[in-house]
Amino acid sequence: MTLLLSPNAQWVLLSTLILGMASGMIGCLAYWKRQSLMSDALSHAALPGVVIAFALIGTKFLPVIIAGAAVSALIGALLIQWIRSSSRIKEDTAMGIILSVFFGLGIMLLTIVNRTASGNQSGLDGFIFGQAASMTRQDVYVMLFLALIVMLVVFIAFKEWKLFLFDADFAKGLGMSNRLMNGVYLAVLVLVIVIGIQAVGVILMAALLIIPAVSARYWTHSFKWMIILSALFGGGAGMLGTMISTLGKGWPTGPFIVVASSAFFIFSLLFGAQKGLLIKALQLRTQKKQLIRPWNAQVKLEKGD
């Protein structure tokens, strides 16, 4: 635990906490928009942008890397919408196509860059599975700033998000632009993905968006409390995974964050107050007792007669 006292570990812990909270909040929007797979597709689509941005500047400067990842992810999102609107291909199929094509392109470009003299020392491989320990204080500042923007967007426009996600026609009748809300949703989704790929990686980033939101769904039917719980689960998974990764030498932070998030999901699946398996079993048992009691009373009455 002495490693947690080091300044670098403290900065990494703070960054994964805020990243987990932001991811959990945006994950709720994706969950209710029924686009959980979109986060997976866009996180994989960000990889070519990471590699191209590094190839252009020759160094791993996080703001430029984030910009490259954002452009690549946005191109992927636009292609998904174009495929869906211009063909009979369904949205989930279009997401799968973009995910595999962009990730394959990113791996190809990564192989080419790694063969160069500077590529071998770039550490770009860390963007696949995440490399939180390599983050500098400046990287953490950038991540914190962008993650706080994402959280503020969700907090300030909470009522608008609720209308947009649950009754888009009514929101449109009130004068709300669905196109604008879709654009803002896509922007914050891409933003939280690209700021998290260094810590968690393009492969595992989707898990940090999906799992906390699904875990929170087992505890409440309220949209407000689901966002709060999802942020707590995401932030808790980020902190717990980071703390565990510091206990071993060379242990990757991203996979441990996902494992911690999965632990929260399993606990919610079993003991969730609304949809947990234990609660359902108890409710089913109570319903059976309520049905059996009148039947037993009727049988006794008939025997008495």
What DSSP letter does each residue of 278-298 carry, written as one string? HHHHHHHHHHHHHHHHHHHHH
Q: Which fold has domain 2-205?
A: ABC transporter involved in vitamin B12 uptake, BtuC (1.10.3470)
* CA dist., res. 135 & res. 143, Å (int): 10
Is residue 118 within 8 Å of 56, Cβ to Cβ? no
d(CA 52, CA 70): 12
Write a three-state SS string for 8-51.
Answer: HHHHHHHHHHHHHHHHHHHHHHHHHCCCHHHHHHHHHHCHHHHH
Residue type, 17: L
Domain ranges within the chain, ordered by starting residue: 2-205
Confidence (pLDDT) at 117? 52
DSSP category for residue 59: S
One-character DSSP codes across 152-206: HHHHHTHHHHHHHHH-HHHHHHTT--HHHHHHHHHHHHHHHHHHHTTTT-TTTHH
CB-based contact 41:80 (threshold 8 Å): yes
pTM to 2 decimal places: 0.86
Task: List all residues 6 or more positions away from 183 whose beta carbon is below 8 Å from its beta carbon.
Answer: none
Hey, what are 24's tokens? 């959990």
pLDDT score recorded for residue 116? 72
Q: What is the mean pLDDT of each run of 10 residues along the chain (305 residues)?
A: 62 87 93 87 90 85 87 93 88 90 91 69 68 76 89 92 88 86 91 86 86 93 93 93 81 86 94 84 79 61 56
Tokens standing for 106? 């990113």
For residue 110, the tally of other CB atoms under 10 A from its CB is 22
d(CA 148, CA 232): 15
Is the CB of residue 161 less than 8 Å from the CB of residue 29? yes
CB 236 within 8 A of CB 52: no
| CB distance 217 to 226 below 8 Å | yes
Residue 254 corresponds to which tokens in the numbers above? 């991203």
